[in-house]
Amino acid sequence: MVALARSRVTPPQGADDAAFETDVLAGLGATPKRMPAKYFYDATGSQLFERITELPEYYPTRTEMRILRDHGADIAKLIAPGAALVEFGSGSSKKVRILLRAAPPLAAYVPVDICGEMVEQEAAELQPDFPQLKVRPVTADICFPFDLPAEAKAAPARVGFFPGSTIGNFEPHEAAAFLRNAAKILGSGATLIVGVDLIKPAEVLNAAYNDKAGVTAKFNLNLLTRINRELGGTFKLDSFEHHAFFNRERNRIEMHLASLKRQKVKVAGECFDFRAGETIHTESSYKYSVESLGALARKSKHSPATLTFWRFRLARCISMRLRSRLKKA
């Protein structure tokens, strides 16, 4: 459950709205029904997610902040002086601030996020605290190619920063595709620093996605509000409820919106039937082991030998050397 990114550069802005409609209609027409998690992050969804990161049950952000505070200097050693730092799915700047304070002088910092309003705002708030740093925000889809700003292209080295457990929101084949895409964006010889969440007891995971305050439920249901607003949907929010649980077989948390009754819903002029108890699968959050990370590296055509692990109690940080042969992938 982390902020993903979507492009307004490729395809152009007008196609973004069309893509949202296309994906929503395809997802509601599928069996089982599903929805891409990246559409959580309109302005309201982004704000709700920031509230989630502060909840006592939601350990990932708190744990990663501790890792960055305790080991930021070690992680910063992966960043060469004069490099450009590109953060994929940047969201709030509170994590990268820790890394920027430990990092050597940079050519530029490029936050990339799905929510243009948020990434611009965070960049504006970050700049006064780092007046010598060129902050160049990009609203783009991290799953597809996008152009880096001129300062990043001209830098002698580029380092990708992909914190949190964002990679866990991708299906395994999508995660491998993301790594290949990041390699193409950053270029041959770049470094990608990735944070992942480890497999842990089901009760810890279930609590993190079913908070007592109900913020995660609001975050999940906000997707229906967005569909109603932007696509003329007729979803009644009180006819759906938030479900989240750990799927042990697939080592992932699943989030769903469950219909509380038999009903029909219209979206963009099309009608969809729901059975009582039928769900829309809105998000998966895969949890990794060292072994499964190695398998992901091989699937993405990265050699496991290129991975460096910092072993912590609840998370991993990975440095991945991107090889030139990935340009052909």
Report d(CA 124, CA 327) in Å as an integer.
33
Sequence-distant (≥ 6) Cβ neighbours of residue 82 within 8 angstroms: 104, 105, 106, 107, 155, 156, 157
- Each residue's pLDDT tens digit, 93-125: 988 999 999 999 999 999 999 788 889 999 999
Cβ neighbours, 10 Å, residue 317: 21
pLDDT at 238: 97
- pLDDT-based confidence at residue 309 (cuts at 50, 70, 90): very low
CA-to-CA distance for 144 and 43, rounded, in angstroms?
Answer: 22
Q: Which two tokens stand for residue 160?
A: 């990708």
3-state secondary structure of 48: helix
- Amino acid code (one letter) for 10: T
Question: Which residues are registered as beta bridge partners of 187?
Answer: none
- Does this model's pTM top 0.95? My answer is no
Provide the 3-class DSSP secondary structure of residue 309.
strand
Question: What are the tens digits of pLDDT across the range 259-292?
Answer: 999 999 999 999 999 999 999 999 999 998 878 8
